[in-house]
Amino acid sequence: MEEEHMVLLFFYTTGMSESQKNLITYLSGFITPRRKQLMDSVLEKRTRYITIALEDIYQPHNASAVLRTCECLGIQDVHIIENKNIYRINPDVVLGATKWITLKRYNHSDYNTPDAIHHLRANGYRIVATSLSEKSVPLDQFDLEKGRIAIFFGTELTGLTDEMINLADESVKIPVYGFTDSYNISVSAAIILSHLVHILRKSTLPWQLKEDEKEEIALQWLRKSVKRADLLEKKFLGSE
């Protein structure tokens, strides 16, 4: 099933115990030094300063392309809002990207967008809608300096719901110069995120993960990389 490919864990870390830190060291012994070095290098480039939320995306191709873009650009968290449509991915497009990013799904009611917005605001994010409204700021004028952002993308045909746009703190748009007034969602996400991540990495903003966040994510990655990690973990914890 497609759901088996998805990372369903989501967390904002509060610190690791000494036992968990020792577990990281233990599981690291079951991967090659080169693999461990790559994980450490990627973690240094990960960010939670920018995150995204996808509202009711229903085409697996687009859903998968957005996740792959986020992983390539080092965006760790993606928020999935399921109102009318169940979020599905295409393994041939996502190419394992979901193994390395953290997904949070909102699907407990008929309209889950307010819950996602509340959760993100509570974690210090500015809520940014992608909209063609005249009030929207052109992408090249968007200000990253004001704090962390959660960028919302809407469905393939109708975009974001009016309710989401009304609840947003601000909005952004990609300038277009042709007869067609909008981009495909996966292309739109790639353009916006690539532009903002490039600016973010050149800035002095605190965009990198905290040490405890790196440790939590490293543990999740190791659990997905080491064969029979669950059995090894039980053996390790039983020996402490």
Q: Give residue 5's pLDDT.
A: 38
Sign of CA dihedral 105, 117, 159, 184: negative
Q: Give residue 13's pLDDT.
A: 43
Q: Give residue 15's pLDDT.
A: 62
Intervals of CATH 3.40.1280.10 along the chain: 47-207
Q: Walk along the chain (240 residues) in steps of 10 and give the mean pLDDT of each run.
A: 40 64 94 96 98 92 92 97 87 82 94 97 98 93 97 90 96 94 92 98 97 95 93 85
The fold for domain 47-207 equals Alpha/beta knot (3.40.1280)
* Residue 150 neighbours by CB under 8 Å, 6+ apart: 51, 52, 53, 79, 120, 125, 126, 127, 128
